[in-house]
Structure 1
Amino acid sequence: MNKTFSLADAVAPVANGSTIMVGGFGSPGTPFSLLEELAEQGKRDLVIIKNDANQDGYGVSRLIEAGAIRKMVTTHLGLSGAARRAFNADTLEVEFVSQGLFAERIRCAGVGLPAFLTDIEIPAELGQARHTVEFEGRQLYVEPALRADYAFITGHCADYYGNLRHHGSSRNFSPLMAMAADCVIAEVYDLQARQLAPDEIHTPGIFVHRLVTVTRSSHEYQPIPR
Protein backbone atom coordinates (compact mmCIF):
# COMPACT_ATOMS: atom_id res chain seq x y z
CA MET A 1 0.00 0.00 0.00
CA ASN A 2 1.39 3.38 -1.03
CA LYS A 3 1.00 5.76 1.90
CA THR A 4 2.62 8.85 0.36
CA PHE A 5 0.82 12.20 0.46
CA SER A 6 1.68 15.77 -0.33
CA LEU A 7 2.40 17.92 2.72
CA ALA A 8 -0.84 19.87 2.31
CA ASP A 9 -3.02 16.78 1.81
CA ALA A 10 -1.46 14.95 4.74
CA VAL A 11 -2.30 17.74 7.17
CA ALA A 12 -5.61 18.88 5.67
CA PRO A 13 -7.90 16.46 7.62
CA VAL A 14 -6.61 17.73 10.98
CA ALA A 15 -9.59 19.52 12.49
CA ASN A 16 -9.62 22.53 14.78
CA GLY A 17 -9.54 21.31 18.37
CA SER A 18 -7.53 18.17 17.56
CA THR A 19 -5.09 16.62 20.01
CA ILE A 20 -1.71 16.05 18.36
CA MET A 21 1.32 14.21 19.67
CA VAL A 22 4.55 15.64 18.28
CA GLY A 23 7.82 13.73 18.34
CA GLY A 24 11.11 15.36 19.13
CA PHE A 25 13.46 16.28 21.93
CA GLY A 26 14.40 19.86 21.17
CA SER A 27 15.23 19.81 17.47
CA PRO A 28 16.10 16.11 16.96
CA GLY A 29 13.04 14.22 15.78
CA THR A 30 10.76 17.25 15.55
CA PRO A 31 8.62 17.17 12.36
CA PHE A 32 9.17 20.81 11.45
CA SER A 33 7.61 20.57 7.98
CA LEU A 34 4.35 19.14 9.33
CA LEU A 35 4.19 21.80 12.03
CA GLU A 36 4.87 24.55 9.49
CA GLU A 37 2.06 23.23 7.29
CA LEU A 38 -0.25 23.11 10.32
CA ALA A 39 0.47 26.80 10.89
CA GLU A 40 0.03 27.65 7.21
CA GLN A 41 -3.39 25.98 7.14
CA GLY A 42 -4.50 28.03 10.15
CA LYS A 43 -5.56 25.18 12.42
CA ARG A 44 -6.73 26.46 15.81
CA ASP A 45 -7.63 25.42 19.37
CA LEU A 46 -5.07 22.59 19.31
CA VAL A 47 -3.87 20.42 22.17
CA ILE A 48 -0.20 19.54 21.67
CA ILE A 49 1.53 16.67 23.46
CA LYS A 50 5.27 17.20 23.08
CA ASN A 51 8.37 16.97 25.22
CA ASP A 52 9.11 20.69 24.76
CA ALA A 53 7.97 23.81 22.93
CA ASN A 54 10.99 24.23 20.61
CA GLN A 55 12.54 27.69 20.25
CA ASP A 56 11.11 31.05 19.22
CA GLY A 57 10.13 31.27 15.58
CA TYR A 58 9.79 27.66 14.58
CA GLY A 59 8.08 24.36 15.39
CA VAL A 60 5.61 24.37 18.27
CA SER A 61 6.72 27.81 19.38
CA ARG A 62 5.57 29.30 16.09
CA LEU A 63 2.11 27.80 16.60
CA ILE A 64 1.98 29.28 20.10
CA GLU A 65 2.97 32.69 18.72
CA ALA A 66 0.07 32.40 16.26
CA GLY A 67 -2.37 31.59 19.08
CA ALA A 68 -3.13 28.20 17.56
CA ILE A 69 -2.50 26.08 20.66
CA ARG A 70 -4.96 26.00 23.55
CA LYS A 71 -3.12 23.49 25.73
CA MET A 72 0.23 21.74 25.97
CA VAL A 73 1.08 18.53 27.78
CA THR A 74 4.83 18.74 28.16
CA THR A 75 7.86 18.12 30.35
CA HIS A 76 9.12 21.71 30.05
CA LEU A 77 8.65 24.83 27.96
CA GLY A 78 12.24 24.75 26.82
CA LEU A 79 13.70 27.76 25.09
CA SER A 80 10.40 29.15 23.82
CA GLY A 81 9.88 32.68 25.07
CA ALA A 82 6.48 32.64 23.37
CA ALA A 83 5.41 29.61 25.42
CA ARG A 84 6.57 31.15 28.69
CA ARG A 85 4.80 34.44 27.97
CA ALA A 86 1.58 32.71 26.97
CA PHE A 87 1.67 30.50 30.06
CA ASN A 88 2.25 33.47 32.37
CA ALA A 89 -0.54 35.40 30.65
CA ASP A 90 -2.96 32.46 31.09
CA THR A 91 -3.52 32.21 27.35
CA LEU A 92 -1.87 28.79 27.19
CA GLU A 93 -2.90 25.96 29.49
CA VAL A 94 0.07 23.76 30.39
CA GLU A 95 0.08 20.33 32.00
CA PHE A 96 3.60 19.60 33.19
CA VAL A 97 4.66 15.96 33.37
CA SER A 98 8.02 14.54 34.36
CA GLN A 99 9.82 13.00 31.39
CA GLY A 100 9.61 9.38 32.54
CA LEU A 101 5.90 9.66 33.31
CA PHE A 102 5.36 11.44 29.99
CA ALA A 103 6.84 8.51 28.04
CA GLU A 104 5.06 5.88 30.12
CA ARG A 105 1.67 7.56 29.79
CA ILE A 106 2.08 7.48 26.01
CA ARG A 107 3.30 3.87 26.05
CA CYS A 108 0.30 2.78 28.13
CA ALA A 109 -2.09 4.24 25.59
CA GLY A 110 -0.26 2.38 22.86
CA VAL A 111 -0.60 -1.00 24.55
CA GLY A 112 -4.20 -0.48 25.66
CA LEU A 113 -3.73 0.33 29.35
CA PRO A 114 -5.98 3.09 30.73
CA ALA A 115 -3.54 4.13 33.48
CA PHE A 116 -0.62 3.02 35.65
CA LEU A 117 0.52 3.50 39.24
CA THR A 118 3.62 5.36 40.35
CA ASP A 119 5.19 6.61 43.58
CA ILE A 120 6.65 9.66 41.83
CA GLU A 121 5.36 12.87 43.35
CA ILE A 122 4.67 16.05 41.41
CA PRO A 123 5.03 19.39 43.24
CA ALA A 124 1.69 20.86 44.27
CA GLU A 125 2.53 24.21 42.66
CA LEU A 126 2.29 22.59 39.24
CA GLY A 127 -1.43 22.41 39.92
CA GLN A 128 -2.43 18.98 38.62
CA ALA A 129 -4.76 17.08 40.95
CA ARG A 130 -3.95 13.36 41.02
CA HIS A 131 -5.93 10.38 42.19
CA THR A 132 -4.25 8.16 44.78
CA VAL A 133 -4.67 4.53 45.80
CA GLU A 134 -3.13 2.47 48.56
CA PHE A 135 -1.30 -0.67 47.47
CA GLU A 136 0.65 -2.96 49.78
CA GLY A 137 0.79 -0.24 52.39
CA ARG A 138 2.06 2.43 49.99
CA GLN A 139 0.29 5.49 48.65
CA LEU A 140 0.55 5.49 44.88
CA TYR A 141 -0.54 7.99 42.25
CA VAL A 142 -2.73 7.12 39.28
CA GLU A 143 -1.31 8.36 35.97
CA PRO A 144 -3.79 8.20 33.07
CA ALA A 145 -2.67 7.09 29.64
CA LEU A 146 -2.12 9.77 27.00
CA ARG A 147 -3.78 9.26 23.63
CA ALA A 148 -4.17 11.62 20.67
CA ASP A 149 -6.13 12.09 17.48
CA TYR A 150 -2.90 12.48 15.50
CA ALA A 151 0.81 11.90 15.90
CA PHE A 152 3.32 13.92 13.89
CA ILE A 153 6.67 12.13 13.81
CA THR A 154 9.82 11.91 11.70
CA GLY A 155 11.70 9.10 10.02
CA HIS A 156 15.13 9.39 8.51
CA CYS A 157 14.34 6.55 6.12
CA ALA A 158 11.08 4.86 5.11
CA ASP A 159 9.60 2.50 2.57
CA TYR A 160 6.24 2.79 0.84
CA TYR A 161 4.63 0.55 3.45
CA GLY A 162 5.30 3.18 6.12
CA ASN A 163 8.08 1.30 7.90
CA LEU A 164 10.41 3.86 9.48
CA ARG A 165 14.05 3.92 10.48
CA HIS A 166 14.99 6.82 12.74
CA HIS A 167 18.33 8.59 12.89
CA GLY A 168 20.19 8.32 16.19
CA SER A 169 18.57 10.19 19.05
CA SER A 170 15.83 11.55 16.76
CA ARG A 171 14.00 8.30 17.48
CA ASN A 172 13.14 9.54 21.02
CA PHE A 173 9.34 9.45 21.53
CA SER A 174 8.28 8.68 17.95
CA PRO A 175 7.79 4.88 18.18
CA LEU A 176 5.69 5.30 21.34
CA MET A 177 3.59 8.09 19.83
CA ALA A 178 2.97 6.05 16.69
CA MET A 179 1.22 3.45 18.87
CA ALA A 180 -0.87 5.97 20.80
CA ALA A 181 -2.62 8.03 18.10
CA ASP A 182 -5.56 7.35 15.81
CA CYS A 183 -3.74 8.69 12.74
CA VAL A 184 0.05 8.86 12.37
CA ILE A 185 1.69 11.21 9.87
CA ALA A 186 5.43 10.88 9.32
CA GLU A 187 7.74 13.21 7.46
CA VAL A 188 10.73 11.38 6.04
CA TYR A 189 13.99 12.43 4.48
CA ASP A 190 14.69 9.32 2.43
CA LEU A 191 11.79 7.37 0.91
CA GLN A 192 13.10 4.16 -0.59
CA ALA A 193 11.56 1.98 -3.27
CA ARG A 194 12.76 -1.20 -1.58
CA GLN A 195 11.08 -2.62 1.49
CA LEU A 196 13.13 -2.07 4.64
CA ALA A 197 14.50 -5.23 6.18
CA PRO A 198 12.99 -6.19 9.55
CA ASP A 199 16.19 -5.37 11.45
CA GLU A 200 16.19 -1.86 9.97
CA ILE A 201 12.72 -0.96 11.22
CA HIS A 202 12.25 1.12 14.36
CA THR A 203 8.59 2.03 13.84
CA PRO A 204 6.53 -0.59 11.96
CA GLY A 205 4.43 0.62 9.06
CA ILE A 206 1.26 -0.87 10.56
CA PHE A 207 1.17 2.20 12.84
CA VAL A 208 1.88 4.77 10.11
CA HIS A 209 -0.98 6.06 7.97
CA ARG A 210 0.60 8.86 5.90
CA LEU A 211 4.09 9.60 4.64
CA VAL A 212 5.39 12.97 3.49
CA THR A 213 8.80 13.31 1.85
CA VAL A 214 10.73 16.40 2.93
CA THR A 215 13.84 17.82 1.32
CA ARG A 216 15.78 18.41 4.51
CA SER A 217 16.65 16.23 7.45
CA SER A 218 14.00 16.70 10.10
CA HIS A 219 16.52 16.44 12.94
CA GLU A 220 18.47 19.50 11.82
CA TYR A 221 17.89 22.95 13.27
CA GLN A 222 15.91 24.93 10.70
CA PRO A 223 14.64 28.29 12.01
CA ILE A 224 11.68 29.73 10.16
CA PRO A 225 12.46 33.06 8.39
CA ARG A 226 10.81 35.94 10.21
Structure 2
Amino acid sequence: MKGALKPEAAAERIPDGASLLIGGFMGVGTPERMIDALVARQARDLTVIANDTANPGRGIGKLITAGAVRRVVTSHIGLNPETQAKMLTGEIVVELVPQGTLIERIRSGGAGLGGVLTPTGLGTEVEEGKRVIEVEGKRFLLELPITADFALIGAHQADYIGNLTYSLTAHNFNPIIALAGRVVIAEAEHYLPVGAIPPDAVKTPGVLVDHLLMRG
Protein backbone atom coordinates (compact mmCIF):
# COMPACT_ATOMS: atom_id res chain seq x y z
CA MET A 1 0.00 0.00 0.00
CA LYS A 2 1.38 3.37 -1.06
CA GLY A 3 3.49 5.01 1.65
CA ALA A 4 1.55 3.09 4.31
CA LEU A 5 1.81 4.52 7.83
CA LYS A 6 0.22 3.68 11.13
CA PRO A 7 -1.59 6.69 12.62
CA GLU A 8 1.00 7.19 15.35
CA ALA A 9 3.85 7.09 12.81
CA ALA A 10 2.04 9.62 10.62
CA ALA A 11 1.56 11.92 13.62
CA GLU A 12 5.27 11.72 14.40
CA ARG A 13 6.04 13.05 10.92
CA ILE A 14 4.07 16.21 11.64
CA PRO A 15 6.23 18.51 13.77
CA ASP A 16 4.99 21.04 16.29
CA GLY A 17 4.37 24.36 14.56
CA ALA A 18 3.36 22.75 11.24
CA SER A 19 0.57 24.11 9.05
CA LEU A 20 -2.23 21.65 8.25
CA LEU A 21 -4.98 21.73 5.67
CA ILE A 22 -7.70 19.45 7.06
CA GLY A 23 -10.74 18.23 5.15
CA GLY A 24 -14.26 18.12 6.48
CA PHE A 25 -17.47 20.07 7.01
CA MET A 26 -18.48 19.98 10.68
CA GLY A 27 -16.55 16.74 10.99
CA VAL A 28 -17.98 15.06 7.87
CA GLY A 29 -15.01 14.01 5.74
CA THR A 30 -12.45 14.71 8.47
CA PRO A 31 -9.65 12.13 9.02
CA GLU A 32 -10.58 11.16 12.60
CA ARG A 33 -7.81 8.60 13.19
CA MET A 34 -5.21 11.12 12.08
CA ILE A 35 -6.69 13.71 14.44
CA ASP A 36 -6.70 11.22 17.32
CA ALA A 37 -3.04 10.38 16.68
CA LEU A 38 -2.05 14.06 16.79
CA VAL A 39 -3.91 14.48 20.07
CA ALA A 40 -2.20 11.38 21.49
CA ARG A 41 1.20 12.74 20.41
CA GLN A 42 0.38 16.00 22.24
CA ALA A 43 1.08 18.09 19.15
CA ARG A 44 1.43 21.82 19.80
CA ASP A 45 1.40 25.20 18.00
CA LEU A 46 -0.32 23.89 14.88
CA THR A 47 -1.86 26.15 12.25
CA VAL A 48 -5.11 24.58 11.04
CA ILE A 49 -6.67 25.68 7.76
CA ALA A 50 -10.15 24.24 7.35
CA ASN A 51 -13.77 25.08 6.72
CA ASP A 52 -14.58 25.03 10.45
CA THR A 53 -13.45 23.64 13.80
CA ALA A 54 -16.35 21.17 14.15
CA ASN A 55 -17.71 20.60 17.67
CA PRO A 56 -15.97 19.74 20.95
CA GLY A 57 -15.12 16.04 20.84
CA ARG A 58 -15.39 15.73 17.07
CA GLY A 59 -12.88 16.20 14.27
CA ILE A 60 -10.80 19.36 14.54
CA GLY A 61 -12.63 20.10 17.78
CA LYS A 62 -10.46 17.44 19.43
CA LEU A 63 -7.33 19.38 18.49
CA ILE A 64 -8.84 22.56 19.91
CA THR A 65 -9.71 20.87 23.21
CA ALA A 66 -6.25 19.31 23.46
CA GLY A 67 -4.51 22.68 23.11
CA ALA A 68 -2.76 21.57 19.92
CA VAL A 69 -3.74 24.60 17.83
CA ARG A 70 -2.19 28.07 17.90
CA ARG A 71 -3.80 29.54 14.77
CA VAL A 72 -6.91 28.79 12.75
CA VAL A 73 -7.79 29.98 9.24
CA THR A 74 -11.44 29.13 8.76
CA SER A 75 -14.83 30.27 7.51
CA HIS A 76 -16.69 29.92 10.82
CA ILE A 77 -16.35 28.82 14.44
CA GLY A 78 -19.98 29.25 15.43
CA LEU A 79 -20.60 25.68 16.57
CA ASN A 80 -17.48 25.28 18.68
CA PRO A 81 -17.67 27.32 21.89
CA GLU A 82 -14.18 26.18 22.87
CA THR A 83 -12.68 27.82 19.79
CA GLN A 84 -14.60 30.98 20.57
CA ALA A 85 -13.43 31.03 24.19
CA LYS A 86 -9.79 30.44 23.27
CA MET A 87 -9.95 33.17 20.66
CA LEU A 88 -11.25 35.65 23.25
CA THR A 89 -8.46 34.78 25.70
CA GLY A 90 -5.80 34.98 22.99
CA GLU A 91 -4.85 31.30 23.26
CA ILE A 92 -5.81 30.81 19.61
CA VAL A 93 -5.51 33.31 16.77
CA VAL A 94 -8.50 33.03 14.44
CA GLU A 95 -8.51 34.39 10.88
CA LEU A 96 -12.05 34.30 9.53
CA VAL A 97 -12.26 34.04 5.74
CA PRO A 98 -15.51 33.91 3.72
CA GLN A 99 -16.11 30.29 2.78
CA GLY A 100 -15.98 30.73 -0.99
CA THR A 101 -12.90 32.90 -0.72
CA LEU A 102 -11.19 30.35 1.52
CA ILE A 103 -11.60 27.41 -0.84
CA GLU A 104 -10.61 29.52 -3.86
CA ARG A 105 -7.44 30.67 -2.08
CA ILE A 106 -6.60 27.02 -1.42
CA ARG A 107 -7.43 26.08 -5.01
CA SER A 108 -5.16 28.84 -6.33
CA GLY A 109 -2.37 27.71 -4.02
CA GLY A 110 -2.64 24.17 -5.33
CA ALA A 111 -2.73 25.35 -8.94
CA GLY A 112 0.28 27.63 -8.54
CA LEU A 113 -1.70 30.80 -9.24
CA GLY A 114 -0.96 34.23 -7.81
CA GLY A 115 -4.24 34.66 -5.96
CA VAL A 116 -7.97 35.25 -6.34
CA LEU A 117 -9.85 38.42 -7.30
CA THR A 118 -13.16 38.67 -5.46
CA PRO A 119 -15.64 41.43 -4.57
CA THR A 120 -16.52 39.63 -1.33
CA GLY A 121 -15.49 41.73 1.63
CA LEU A 122 -15.16 45.09 -0.12
CA GLY A 123 -16.04 47.90 2.24
CA THR A 124 -15.79 45.68 5.33
CA GLU A 125 -13.06 44.71 7.81
CA VAL A 126 -12.05 41.98 5.37
CA GLU A 127 -10.62 44.68 3.07
CA GLU A 128 -8.17 46.06 5.67
CA GLY A 129 -4.55 45.67 4.63
CA LYS A 130 -5.35 44.07 1.27
CA ARG A 131 -4.74 45.23 -2.29
CA VAL A 132 -7.74 46.44 -4.26
CA ILE A 133 -7.48 45.89 -8.01
CA GLU A 134 -9.76 47.47 -10.60
CA VAL A 135 -10.77 45.40 -13.62
CA GLU A 136 -12.93 47.03 -16.30
CA GLY A 137 -14.25 49.56 -13.81
CA LYS A 138 -15.03 47.05 -11.07
CA ARG A 139 -13.10 46.77 -7.79
CA PHE A 140 -11.87 43.46 -6.42
CA LEU A 141 -9.86 42.33 -3.43
CA LEU A 142 -6.71 40.37 -4.17
CA GLU A 143 -6.79 37.33 -1.87
CA LEU A 144 -3.47 35.50 -1.72
CA PRO A 145 -3.09 31.75 -2.30
CA ILE A 146 -2.93 29.28 0.59
CA THR A 147 -0.71 26.22 0.84
CA ALA A 148 0.37 24.20 3.88
CA ASP A 149 3.04 21.80 5.09
CA PHE A 150 0.53 18.93 5.20
CA ALA A 151 -2.92 18.11 3.85
CA LEU A 152 -4.90 15.59 5.91
CA ILE A 153 -7.61 13.89 3.87
CA GLY A 154 -10.65 11.86 4.88
CA ALA A 155 -11.76 9.59 2.01
CA HIS A 156 -14.45 6.97 1.50
CA GLN A 157 -12.35 4.56 -0.58
CA ALA A 158 -8.66 4.27 -1.41
CA ASP A 159 -6.90 1.77 -3.59
CA TYR A 160 -3.39 0.57 -2.83
CA ILE A 161 -1.73 3.28 -4.94
CA GLY A 162 -3.67 6.13 -3.34
CA ASN A 163 -6.54 6.85 -5.72
CA LEU A 164 -9.37 8.27 -3.58
CA THR A 165 -13.16 8.59 -3.67
CA TYR A 166 -15.43 10.56 -1.35
CA SER A 167 -18.98 9.96 -0.17
CA LEU A 168 -21.65 12.63 -0.52
CA THR A 169 -20.90 15.80 1.50
CA ALA A 170 -17.52 14.42 2.58
CA HIS A 171 -16.46 15.52 -0.90
CA ASN A 172 -16.40 19.13 0.41
CA PHE A 173 -12.86 20.53 0.84
CA ASN A 174 -10.93 17.27 0.53
CA PRO A 175 -10.15 17.13 -3.23
CA ILE A 176 -9.03 20.77 -3.24
CA ILE A 177 -6.77 20.60 -0.19
CA ALA A 178 -5.08 17.55 -1.69
CA LEU A 179 -3.66 19.93 -4.30
CA ALA A 180 -2.26 22.44 -1.80
CA GLY A 181 -0.46 20.35 0.82
CA ARG A 182 3.25 19.74 0.37
CA VAL A 183 2.76 16.31 1.98
CA VAL A 184 -0.63 14.62 1.60
CA ILE A 185 -1.74 12.00 4.13
CA ALA A 186 -5.05 10.24 3.46
CA GLU A 187 -7.12 7.85 5.51
CA ALA A 188 -10.05 5.94 4.06
CA GLU A 189 -13.00 3.97 5.34
CA HIS A 190 -12.35 1.19 2.81
CA TYR A 191 -9.16 0.01 1.08
CA LEU A 192 -9.45 -1.75 -2.27
CA PRO A 193 -7.13 -3.46 -4.77
CA VAL A 194 -5.89 -1.44 -7.72
CA GLY A 195 -8.54 -1.46 -10.44
CA ALA A 196 -11.49 -1.84 -8.07
CA ILE A 197 -12.29 1.87 -8.25
CA PRO A 198 -13.57 2.89 -11.71
CA PRO A 199 -11.31 5.57 -13.19
CA ASP A 200 -14.17 8.06 -13.55
CA ALA A 201 -15.00 7.67 -9.83
CA VAL A 202 -11.56 8.81 -8.71
CA LYS A 203 -11.71 12.33 -7.28
CA THR A 204 -8.11 12.53 -6.04
CA PRO A 205 -5.55 10.65 -8.14
CA GLY A 206 -2.89 8.68 -6.33
CA VAL A 207 -0.10 10.82 -7.77
CA LEU A 208 -1.14 13.53 -5.29
CA VAL A 209 -1.11 11.25 -2.23
CA ASP A 210 2.15 10.67 -0.35
CA HIS A 211 0.92 8.38 2.45
CA LEU A 212 -2.08 6.21 3.23
CA LEU A 213 -3.06 5.54 6.82
CA MET A 214 -3.08 1.84 7.60
CA ARG A 215 -6.19 0.14 8.99
CA GLY A 216 -6.55 -0.15 12.74
Within 5 A, what are the aligned runs for 1:157-176?
Answer: 157-176=157-176
Q: TM-score, normalization: structure 1?
A: 0.89
3-state DSSP of counterpart to 2:67: coil
Distance in 2 between the 1:123 and 1:37 partners? 42
Alignment partner, residue 98 of structure 2? 98
Amino acid at match of 2:32: F
Within 5 A, what are the aligned runs for 1:65-104?
Answer: 65-104=65-104
3-state DSSP of counterpart to 1:76: coil
CA contact (8 A) 1:61 1:80 kept: yes
Give the C-alpha shift of residue 125 in structure 1: 4.6
Superposition RMSD in Å: 1.7
Alignment partner, residue 206 of structure 1? 207
Distance in 2 between the 1:40 and 1:23 partners? 20
CA contact (8 A) 1:55 1:80 kept: yes
CA contact (8 A) 1:19 1:48 kept: yes
Distance in 1 between the 2:53 and 2:122 partners? 20
Find out whether 1:49 has 2:38 as its counterpart: no
Gaps of 5+ in 2: none
Alignment partner, residue 188 of structure 2? 188
Alignment partner, residue 130 of structure 1? 130
CA contact (8 A) 1:76 1:96 kept: yes
3-state DSSP of counterpart to 1:185: strand
The 4+ residue runs of structure 1 with deviation greater than 3 A are 122-128
Identity of aligned residues (%): 35
Alignment partner, residue 223 of structure 1? none
Alignment partner, residue 28 of structure 1? 28
Amino acid at match of 2:5: F
Distance in 1 between the 2:102 and 2:9 partners? 30
The count of corresponding residues between Structure 1 and Structure 2 is: 215
